[in-house]
Chain A
């Protein structure tokens, strides 16, 4: 019974952790939109803009990756089962 509760809570927790995906999604969409705008304005600077955009996107993605790591931990390497 205890194990079932822990497993259910872990599954819910894994799902909840992925709410973290919202932030990077909005942020990256905004960054890419701005990059497209600036490439449209100055097509000759597309190389530098794209490079900077990718780095910014990767940094913005970090929080989403943290959420994903938590979700993966809860699903595949659950630390709570061992504490029962």
Chain B
């Protein structure tokens, strides 16, 4: 292998769904163990180990740097939740923090050359469905079942189908937004790598495949991944506090 092989880039553009590593057959239902599932386990394991290391032997005074980092992260998440939903919603902060961490690491795992977890539609859809359930349970808890059902025929009964559609559109648009951003970043970067390696082949010197992909990755992987994770949690909080009439924001 020559040193130039390292900078050869990609040979073609192929956009594929997550690969299936193995399949089980449980009671007639085929369960595929996809790349997404395995990478999610890797992320969960990594975050668990990191948190275990950060919160090892915590003290109340003379705190270590590790503990300062952990406290900063917790305070940031709690502060964000209190700012956008009010003090009453403090208990939801762990969910928001976990969602943000998982989302951002799931997108950033593509920096390691692996497939983004969030580039599988199942993942954002699952999160959006959790949010959907939370929105509606909050609505029922706030307005009572009668008030909740009455909301569908508001302001006139003719609006019923449109109200139902707009409720269904919430998780669909949330998950498609996240998925679409990550996938489009993936496709555009793979097209770009292909173009750059074609240029390299054309001029015979590995000029374009060094450096330029890193700059592009900065936007498409880092910025986009962070933005989408942030937007997902902000929208989750906004939707939930929207249906909660008692919120003191």
> In the complex, A62 Cα to B231 Cα: how many Å?
12
Q: A72, B184: Cβ atoms under 8 Å? A: yes
CB distance from A73 to the nearest CB of B (A): 10
> In the complex, A76 Cα to B231 Cα: how many Å?
27
- B130 on the interface (CB 8 Å rule)? no
- A66 on the interface (CB 8 Å rule)? yes
- A9 on the interface (CB 8 Å rule)? no
Q: B177, A65: Cβ atoms under 8 Å? A: yes
Q: B180, A65: Cβ atoms under 8 Å? A: yes
Return chain A residues, CB-CB under 8 Å to B227: 54, 58
Encode A69-83 as 1/0 by CB contact (under 8 A) with B. Answer: 100100011000000
Within 8 A of B (CB), among A9-45: none
Q: B176, A55: Cβ atoms under 8 Å? A: no
> In the complex, A27 Cα to B162 Cα: how many Å?
24
A62's partner among B176, B183, B230, B234 (CB-CB below 8 A) is B176
Secondary structure class of chain B's binding surface, majority of residues: helix
CB distance from B73 to the nearest CB of A (A): 18
B176's partner among A66, A76, A77 (CB-CB below 8 A) is A66
CB-based nearest B residue for A61:
B177
- A68 on the interface (CB 8 Å rule)? yes
CB distance from B206 to the nearest CB of A (A): 27
- B235 on the interface (CB 8 Å rule)? yes
Return chain A residues, CB-CB under 8 Å to B230: 54
> In the complex, A61 Cα to B183 Cα: how many Å?
14
Return chain B residues, CB-CB under 8 Å to A62: 173, 176-177
